[in-house]
Amino acid sequence: MTVTQYRSSLDVAAIGNGRVAALIDPGGRIVWWCFPRLDGDPVFCRLLSGNEDKGFCDVQLEGQVSATSGYVRNTCILETILVASNGARVKITDFAPRFLRFGRSFHPTQLIRRIEPLNGLPRIVCRVRPAFGYGEATASPAQGSNHIRYSAGSTPIRVTTDLAVSYIVHETPFVLTHPVTLVLGSDEPIESSIDAMSREFLDQTRDYWVTWVRGLAIGYEWQSEVIRAAISLKLCTFEETGAIIAALTTSIPEAPNTPRTWDYRFCWLRDAYFVIRALNRLGATQSMENYLGYITTIVADTESPLRPLYGIVHNDTMEERVAPDLQGFLGMGPVRVGNLASKQLQHDAYGSVILGASQMFIDQRLPRMGDASLFRELEHLGQQARRLYLKPDAGIWEYRGRERIHTHSATMCWVACDRLARIASLLGLHERAVYWRHSADKIRSEILTRAWSEKRGAFTGAFDNSELDASVLLLAELGLVAPNDPRFVKTCDTIGRELMRNGLMLRYAAEDDFGLPESAFLACQFWYIDALALIGRTEDARELFSELLNHRNAFGMLSEDLHPATGQLWGNIPQTYSMAGLINSAMSLSRRWDDAWAPLPHAAPSESAEATMEQTEQTLQRSA
């Protein structure tokens, strides 16, 4: 376990198993748990309850003076050590069971909490206070012989335990003399020994994560950072359908006291490229394959218009409403359920889907490759891209009060046609390749003419407009322009000069529906880092990347936003965009494995063997 220091209100750790996930604060309090799946009712909603003490599960140690917390290495099993002034110590181990059982993936709607005495005679209180209906109701516990049932709606939860049930129901202090276990989950009986089951599940869950991490193809540098990002990305996966949600939370504001609070427990199609790229580079082919399955299910529905985001089950409703019984993160509401962006016009979605699905035509590791049938279904999306690229939309940043012809949206329409041309060539469909290449060239010419501003010395965020937008940093990576194109180099310079605040990148600086933006968007920071590397400024990119890693929370995760003035994390967490960005940048910038024992840069050829050994040791320490 790694001992951590805490510096942010978003210093929370995530545990999960591909069906449910929870967030736990540094003191071991479970402050967020959506049940019975990732987008469900947050029965533990303390993260968003403001000054109301509801929706949590914790352990109070009498006379507590400190708490340290961290993950078991290469897992998402969390250990928290509570220490009292008299020297008594307690260890809390939290995890969501995840392993193979009977030849199938076993990931029940359960959280397991083991509480063990480590020293002395610790006197503790176990508190379990779920809330239902987004904070609307708390339930009186119904007590059984070895379980407690909480219900205030259609989906009750059960706490099964080998601890005296009355101690939990009445929140009675008691002396912990032996390990006890709480199993939180569906209202189903557990007929085996709670202690034996929890120990078995803990061992098998640890083995699962260690084995999964062992299969990752990571770079030489920033290994622990990439591993934690990969695990965080996997925790945002709903494995039944393959959907990957944007974050585990809803309504954590983008900045202090802003109404920019959104529900991110849905699957955004534009994330497809970044997520699939990250999973592919890590060699996490099963997760990538599941996600491609989710995307192709959407592609197969040619009767319905393409939406920018979908539920973790494709046809789920995403109607947006406000939850009045939750005050919000640090009391900063509103708390939103659902997302109005699902009804917006966002034309980049067509290119995002085709770009993600194109992996199926080139990746020989996949058991089912893309074929002419899938290509024909993708052509339907390509035709929509051809039709819409000059139509105004809400854009990548989902403006709610205006529409423009956004450069990124038009570029992704170009991507749709460009990738279809390439896929047609791979399949030997010459006529279709010519058709889609002609379409792509036409769109590209329009973008280069109308998105370039000689006055600003940059590609701008919308056609015939002078406002800057960090999304154009993706133009070279997507292939619209070459990295050494003078216009792209100038764009990097201009955006770096005008959108950076204290070394952190804003999405844009112009006023929008909610006023002037004040937080840096972390995905844009990674895009800038990648753009610098593409144009040959690798050392600058590495420096910015290393600085950004220092802003991760105490458990190695990133949210959506970072405040340039305070350096604090804001926005929903863990943010898929940010974690995928970290992985992609690290893999691009890392030294190669066969360079591990090479002399450090700038080392003089005449150095003594002793100095060389000392520098090599320092390199290994930094990498560790």
Which two three-digit tokens encode residue 447?
């973008």
* Residue found by looking up tokens 């392993």 in the block: 99
Where is average pLDDT lowest: 208-222, 239-253, 597-611?
597-611
The domain segmentation of the chain, as residue ranges, is: 13-213, 237-590, 594-624
pLDDT at 608 (0 to 100)? 41
Q: Are 61 and 47 in contact (CB under 8 A)?
A: no
Residue 489 pLDDT grade (very low, low, confident, very high; cuts 50, 70, 90): very high
Q: Which of 111-115, 363-367, 437-441, 564-568 has the lowest mean pLDDT?
A: 363-367
Lowest mean pLDDT among 52-56, 154-158, 536-540, 563-567: 154-158
pLDDT tens digits, one per residue of 162-212:
999 999 999 999 999 999 999 999 988 888 899 999 999 999 999 999 999
Residues 6+ apart with CB under 8 A from 264: 245, 246, 247, 249, 250, 339, 560, 572, 575
pLDDT at 278: 92
- Nearest CA-CA partner of 72 in 12, 13, 32, 122: 13
**Cβ atoms 378, 423 nearer than 8 A:** yes
Cα 184 to Cα 20, 23, 129, 158, 194: the distances in Å are 11, 14, 12, 6, 12
What pLDDT does residue 401 have? 82
Residue 425, both tokens: 């060539």
Extract the runs of DSSP E, i.e. beta strands, from 139-253: 142-143, 147-150, 157-161, 174-175, 180-186, 237-238, 243-244
- Give the confidence band of 92 by pLDDT, cuts at 50, 70, 90: very high
Instruction: Report d(CA 539, CA 532) in Å as an integer.
Output: 9
Work out the average pLDDT over 387-403: 94
CA distance 141 to 543: 53
Residue 611 has pLDDT above 90, yes or no: no
- Given a cut of 90, whether residue 303 has pLDDT beyond it is no
Work out the pLDDT band at 624, boundaries 50, 70, 90.
very low
Helix (H) or strand (E) segment spanning residue 105: strand 104-106
For 428, left (φ over 0), alpha (ψ -120 to 50), or beta?
A: left
C-alpha distances in angstroms, 114 versus 30, 59, 77, 92? 13, 11, 11, 6
Per-residue model confidence as pLDDT tens digits over 332-342: 999 999 999 99
13-213 and 237-590 share one fold? no
Separation in Å, CA 567 to CA 7, 228, 564? 10, 21, 5
pLDDT one-digit tens code per residue, 250-273: 999 999 999 999 999 999 998 878
Please tell me the predicted confidence (pLDDT) of residue 617. Answer: 47
**Could you tell me where the DSSP H helices lie in 52-189?**
165-169
Burial of 592 (0-12, 13-18, 19+ CB in 10 A): exposed
Residues of the chain above pLDDT 70, percent: 94
Identify the DSSP state of 20: -
Which of the two residues, 510 and 411, has the higher pLDDT score? 411
Token digits for 216?
């990752």
CB atoms within 10 A of CB 186: 13
Question: Across residues 36-61, what is the average pLDDT?
Answer: 96
Global confidence as pTM? 0.93
CA distances (Å), origin 376, targets 273, 308, 348, 453, 580: 20, 21, 19, 37, 30
Residues forming beta bridges with residue 58, ordered by sequence position: 127
CA gap 92, 90 in Å, rounded = 7
Higher pLDDT, 599 or 593: 593
Residue at token pair 């060699």: 283
User: In whole angstroms, what is the distance from residue 327 CA to residue 51 CA?
Assistant: 8
Between the CA of residue 463 and those of 15, 410, 575, what are the distances in Å? 44, 9, 29
Report the Cα 116 to chain-centroid distance in Å: 31
In this structure, what is the dihedral angle of CA atoms 28, 34, 38, 40, given to the nearest 10 degrees?
180
Give dist(CA 145, CA 164) in Å, integer: 9
**pLDDT in the model for residue 520:** 96
In the three-class reduction of DSSP (H, G, I as helix; E, B as strand; rest coil), residue 354 is classed as: helix
CB 19 within 8 A of CB 107: yes
* pLDDT of res. 612: 40
Q: What is the pLDDT of residue 285?
A: 86
Those residues with Cβ within 8 angstroms of residue 371's Cβ, 6 or more apart along the chain or in another chain? 427
Separation CA 407–CA 390 (nearest Å): 10
Query: How far is residue 327 CA from its own chain's centroid?
Result: 24
> For residue 241, what pLDDT is reported?
95
Give residue 602's pLDDT: 55
The pLDDT of residue 600 is 59
Q: How many C-alpha atoms does 25 have within 13 Å on its Cβ side?
A: 18
Confidence at residue 9, expressed as pLDDT on a 0 to 100 scale = 82
Q: What is the pLDDT of residues 449-480, one digit of tens each?
A: 999 999 999 999 999 999 999 999 999 999 99
Contact 352, 412 (CB under 8 A): yes
Q: Indicate the pLDDT class of residue 155, thresholds 50, 70 and 90.
A: confident
- Domain 237-590: CATH class, spelled out: mainly alpha
Residue type, 438: H
What pLDDT was estimated at residue 3? 38
- How sure is the predictor about 601, in pLDDT bands with cuts at 50, 70 and 90? low
Our measurement of the distance from residue 378's CA atom to the centroid of its chain's CA atoms, rounded to an integer in Å, reads 27
d(CA 216, CA 21) in angstroms, rounded, equals 22
For domain 13-213, give the CATH number.
2.70.98.10
Q: Is pLDDT at 622 greater than 90 in this prediction?
A: no
| Secondary-structure breakdown of the chain: helix, strand, coil percentages, each rounded to the nearest 5 | 35, 20, 45
Mean pLDDT of the chain: 92
